[in-house]
Amino acid sequence: MNGFGSPFGSSFGSPFESFLDPGERLLWSGQPKQGVRLQAGDLFMIPFSLMWGGFAIFWEASVLGITGLNHHPARPSGNAGGIPLFMALWGIPFVLVGLYMIFGRFFYDAALRRKTWYGITDRRLIILKSLFTKNMSSFDYASLTNLNLVERNDGSGDILFGTPFPMTAFSNSSWPRSNRYPLVPGFYLLPGARNVYNQIREIQQRAKK
């Protein structure tokens, strides 16, 4: 049985099938909420991306003469169309970064969540990401000394395997993060997060006994 918040009675056919140890049972599997979504960090990211991207696009358009603000009748010879080649090429990376920040990162984040699975077994918690390459992280119950739940009004939430830094709430998978404020591992944007959180706590208590 598949889907958000759906329990797996067996690992057969699940994305975790090849990652389970002999005798290990998959108890639950789910994915983050899908589609293009706004997150808390976008409160700051959207204005910044519009300023960065808008300036980069305007600067490049001015260099190319599209805006009409950089018109010079006499240009040094050797420049194609009278446009300094170095200046035209220099602005392209900034324009591409600006376009990614304005809207490209939303589609990247949606694609990453579409290729992300969360799993609960009788031995550990698993995070599997396979957008370009398969990346599997696992956390034994004995090592989960601090389990936190951040719940939203719609019932979705984040189950964090540790204590988040203050700035962690304003970051997401589409935005660069510094080593000073890393993203705490966990199940992010999970539908029905409280039910999954309670299930993890129950299994954790059984594992300790």
The pLDDT tens digits for 150-198 are 888 888 899 999 877 665 555 555 555 545 556 788 999 999 999 999 9
Q: In sequence order, which residues have a C-beta less than 8 Å from that of residue 53 and are 6 or more positions away?
A: 95, 97, 98, 99, 101, 102
Instruction: For the chain, give the mean pLDDT.
Output: 78
User: In this predicted structure, what is the pLDDT of residue 167?
Assistant: 56
Q: In sequence order, which residues have a C-beta less than 8 Å from that of residue 202 and are 6 or more positions away?
A: none
Q: Which CATH number fits domain 17-30+115-208: 2.30.29.30, 3.40.640.10, 3.90.1170.50, 3.20.20.10?
A: 2.30.29.30
Give pLDDT < 70 ranges for the chain. 1-13, 40, 67-83, 165-182, 209
Reported pTM = 0.70
Q: In sequence order, which residues have a C-beta less than 8 Å from that of residue 55 and are 6 or more positions away?
A: 98
Phi-psi region of 49 (alpha: psi -120 to 50; beta: other; left: phi over 0): alpha
Q: Residue ranges per domain, the chain?
A: 17-30+115-208, 42-111
